[in-house]
Amino acid sequence: MFPPRLTDIAHRGRVELNEPDVLALVLPTEDILHLDRVWKLHEHTSPLVMLELWRPTDEFDEFIRDWLLDFGRRVLAAERRRSRGNASQAGRTR
């Protein structure tokens, strides 16, 4: 999650080598874990994954997020069923 020995960077090498890294001792908060997941996103990330990581603060935005996630999951499930059906039909025609 963080670069190794981040405290070395912050203290410009003034940390003794046998001292444990502070960030290794402190458990990450939920916000830090959320940021870590968001930082790993890239341009080809699924819109469903991006929606799952979105934390709306407005009640209406939360409703829209939940509705879009539900709709997206239903579309994805239907697409997978259709793909499996096409694959099994292709196997029978051989």
What is the pLDDT, as a whole number, of residue 9?
A: 55
Question: What percent of the chain is predicted at pLDDT more than 70?
Answer: 73
- Residues 19-49: tens digit of each pLDDT: 677 777 888 888 888 888 888 888 888 888 8
Per-residue pLDDT band for 81 (boundaries 50, 70, 90) equals: very high
Euclidean distance between CA atoms 76 and 81, whole angstroms: 9
Three-state secondary structure string covering 10-62: HCCCCCCCCCCCHHHHCCCCHHHHHHHHHHCCCCCCCHHHHHHHCCCCCHHHH
